[in-house]
Structure 1
Amino acid sequence: RVMEMLLSTKGITTCLFFSVLSLAAAIEIPLSVSQLPTITEQSHTQVAYPFDEDFTLRCEARGNPQPTFNWTKDGKPFDLLSDRRVVTSNNSGTFVIQNRGIISSFQGKYRCFASNVLGTAMSEEIELIVPSVPKFPKEKIEPLHVEHGDSVILQCNPPKGIPPLHIYWMNIDLQHIPQDERVSVSMQGDLYFANVEESDSRSDYCCFAAFPMLRTIVQKMPMTLKVSRSNFIKERKPKLLIPPESAGSSSSVTVIKGGVLLLECIAEGLPTPHLSWVKVMGNMPKDRAKTDNFEKRLKIEEVTAADEGLYQCTASNPMGRARHEFHVHVEEPPQWLKKPEGGVYSVGANLVLLCEAIGNPEPSIRWKLNGMPIDSRTFRGRISTREISLTNLQLQDSAVFQCEATNKHGTILASANVDVLNIAPLILTSDGENYATVVGYSAFLHCDIFASPAADVRWTKDDSVEPLSTFRYELNKNGTLEIKHTKKEDSGSYACWAANSVGKGAITANLDIRDATKVVVTPKSPRVLKAHSVLLRCQAEHDPHLERGFQLSWRKDGEELPTNATEGGRIILDRDTLFISSVVLEDEGVYTCVASTSLDSATAESQLIVLDVPDPPEDLQLSENQNRSVRLSWRAGSSHNSPVNESIVEFEENRWEPGRWQELTRVPGNATTALLALAPYVNYQFRVVSVNAVGRSQPSRPSLRYGTPPAAPDKNPENIRVEASEPNEMVMKWEPLKPLERNGPGLEYRVSWRQQGLHTDWSEETVKKHSLTVRNTPTFVPYEIKVQAVNHLGAGPEPNVTVGYSGED
């Protein structure tokens, strides 16, 4: 039916959801379509041959027809079959060099070419380094005789090898030669003595050269240095050994942008010179510049253009100084500003390829066609340094264009495949695909098309020939139809139609719209006391057609909970329920039920809030210290979802009742400070307890001790009374002061008495206990009695008078 409709369509009506799919941009051409070769894999641009292994140079390409491969070495054809040690593979440019015999002849610069009848692709140049085994020459090194204070250079002259190179100076027992401001190793590997001492004499100065890439360490023949005593002190001002005097007072250094700048100054002199560095007319980059080798080397990492300029090293000692200036120039290898971009073009189209690169020095640009330099005399297009243009492209114009940008720091290569094709729409998506989604989601029906010229594409539904054209339908550039906010009535059969001037094509697709999954969790926000239990229930609805893949799962704070019982059965998941017994504070969080099908998923959340007594207050601090008061401050602990109603301040003192905590005051729950009234002569410490609706917190950690100075008593004894068990006797008793009422040391009671109504002088006696017996009193006579508290600092307030009777018969 679709094909009948397609064949009966005499023209294509333009509407919102018709689309011309442009193929000019670089796209993946189906391998069934004739196409130019493209290099898909190659070895790194610089590689080293391992000593003990075979080596592979890689070059792979795709194309139709299947490409054939050939190589050049140092710009000349390289026959892979000319050496039996070279092993090739069918339909591949990759070859293996077997590690047999002398292989140094394989060192050179290689390039791979992949060709078919349409054109030739070219790899980047690959430099193959075949290292020889580094060796120091066997030589006899004469002993070096010098005097105390002379400068000395012991030369290493390491053999050549693949970097990096590490130089070590050691003795024959493999102990490192100590280095300091006086003795150091240069970047070239030589050992420098700013001035020698007699202790430098030894016969086993050995230079070791390590080549990590070659897994090799080689040793130079030991050198002998004999230092004899000098008849005079050879004090002298510094002289630079690196850079040498022959370099003059300044030199030029070039560094690659992004690389590491290394500047070195080594000086001789006596006393030993000290090195320092400055950037003239500028500042060092603090985060990237550092010195090492005892200030003899300046290192700047990740060099930028701003690091260009004049740098100066100064060697100084009390005898004078020496300087050298380095003119640093920052250069960079070529980098692309704009690379040529190939693509698929139809017959008659126009082509413009751009190639722009930057670098320092400015790169030169060179164009190639199918791996060969372009001859402007025979090339039918227009060619300039940065642009190639062709008009009215024809099938025979298919080619691989290469652009190389080169300066002294390197070469970069960019290739552009220009495929000129004349092909009817080739629909790459299978016919009769089945799609499904749920109500409200978007549906994507695919129709991947390759065509040249570009194809016009439209979609229809069921038996309609009218293209889909409402706001809910969107045709993407790749031919895919997106149906937004799907409804049940979107179910049905769809057809994708594609046509260009060469031909037509069509496929069908089926779409099913299912009900969306829904889920609810109850309770929504449970508030649970610690140690109690909670049950969460998940109620989900889903389309019956999606039962097969339906699943329920639970998450806590985004992390999935295992379906089996956890924590010894305290947390139990049973499909649609989640049960937590003996709830702890760590159980608090957001619990999510996830209901998922093969097409969609839905979630619902429950915020579990755990209630508990507050955490104890923290960080108790004392301030505003006075004789009778102090301010206590603290930081409230977590209230655990139940506001703090009040805070209780308790105290303990270590003189009368050590270890016993007593309540001192209470403050509102929002307060975190209290001014505490204190008694004299008490060594306090304090703690705070917070209270909420659930209960009391644990006490805080105690504060520091706070002692109040002694004072005279503030009060006198109470409940003064007279007891008489015998005639002519009077026993006076009273309630003693409590320990915290004593106010100071040496508490005693001053007791005064006289017969009422006689206005005689008071009798007085001071006692330590809380009773006093007076004898020889008249029988049953009223007495006025006073009891006053006194201590070493004074007496309490004037006491009240109490009347009591002496004993009776």
Structure 2
Amino acid sequence: VSLLWFCLDKNTTLGQLQMNILLIYWCKDGPPRVSEKVAHRQTARIGTAIKLPCPVEGDPPPLIMWTKDGRNIHSGWIRFRILRMGLKIKEVEADDTGTYICKATNGFGSVNINYTLIVIGECRWSSVLRPRFTQPAKMRKRVIARPVGSSVRLKCTASGNPRPDIVWLKDDRLLSEQEVGEGRQKKWTLSLKNLKPEHSGRYTCRVSNRAGEINATYKVEVIQRTNSKPILTGTHPVNTTVDYGGTTSFQCKVRSDVKPVIQWLKRVESNEESRYNSTIEVGDHQFVVLPTAEVWSRPDGSYLNKLLITRAKEEDAGMYICLGANTMGYSFRSAFLTVLPDTKPPITAMFSPASSSLPWPVIIGIPAGIVFIFGTVLLWFCQSRKHCPPPSAPAATAQVLQSSHRLPYRERDRGCAPPSSSTEKDCMSSMNYEEYLAQQQLLLSQGGPTLPPKIYPKIYTDIHTHTHSHVDGKVHQHQHIHFQC
């Protein structure tokens, strides 16, 4: 079909037409066709990027689909990106070697472009590891309820060797690129935005490589906007009594179409307001917000929360409120806690109130100082009792006499008194008894100092007679007399 546009100049007169051909456009309906010549054999090095073109055109425009070795390439192949005019592969790996087909289809037919990709520098994997989830803590909550219009993110981050592929399914049906998110580089998280009731279902992520496959399933429930506020079911919280220092808890059960906010409050008495930095007003009373534990969902659709009170004291007694709220309002219920008085006897102070006002170093230092002074005086008195006056000269002489009588038999035979000093000579001397008496008389006559008297309890005389015969026939005889003190 050919189209021809004409333009009439407004200045032309009647009967004169000036035709200007502006554009002639030829188009023809039919199946897709290849518009350019391509090289069907492609090579790439490990770690590089490569683009496989798919130059096709047609009227109506064809739908492009890529396959590798008979498997459809989809958004779960995180290194593969389907573009309008080709397929781009990032960080080429050895396993990317294979046959790739670009198939273009419209209402009149289809056309294929085949490629054989050869990866240069192909090497075997040093170790093959099956896939595993790398963030299991973020995957614990598998049942998720969200109101209409909200959003949710489902995570399935995994690793393996070789790098695994991931696909998402909803109720065992493979999700399309439009549903998963076309053109997204990160496919480990499935984001569902602006939720509608038809989004409810079971979502499964399937992660696989040549070493194995793993999967995880989430249950998503999209509920209509609630038109009622939460309802506290059962009888909890109830009035409770606890011993002083004991442990108790309050329990609160709330039913709501969506997960509510459960908060515990404690009423502040008029004389306790100064103890808290901030309070809120509920009705005609002031309340303080208490730390709240995690809210647990139950199989019957209700939600449970507990408030734990440990080491109960008198100031813990009072009114407690469980408050459950959602977008439509709130409900609450109150209960009272009674703390029994402490049964332990109070500790009696050792000092009077007047002395207790003194600082503790003074209280301890005064008795310690008194004890120290008394001990010093007592020690001095005991030491003074041990010192005695020196003995007189006669007493010393008598002591020497007594000691001489206590000498061993061997010493008494020698007639020796114990020496008074290290410089005193032994009583054995070449001086005889007469010479000793003469010396003592001389000292007395001169008036000089006398030596301390020496005691000689026994005197022995030893006479030896020696006879000597000479050559000339004479005989000589003499005696030796020895005095021993």
TM-score of Structure 1 vs Structure 2, range by shorter chain: 0.3 to 0.5
- Which protein has greater RCO, CA pairs closer than 8 Å, 6+ apart? 2
TM-score (norm 2): 0.36
Q: Which of the two has greater helix per residue? A: 2
Q: Which of the two has greater strand per residue? A: 1
TM-score (norm 1): 0.23
* Larger Cα-atom Rg: 2
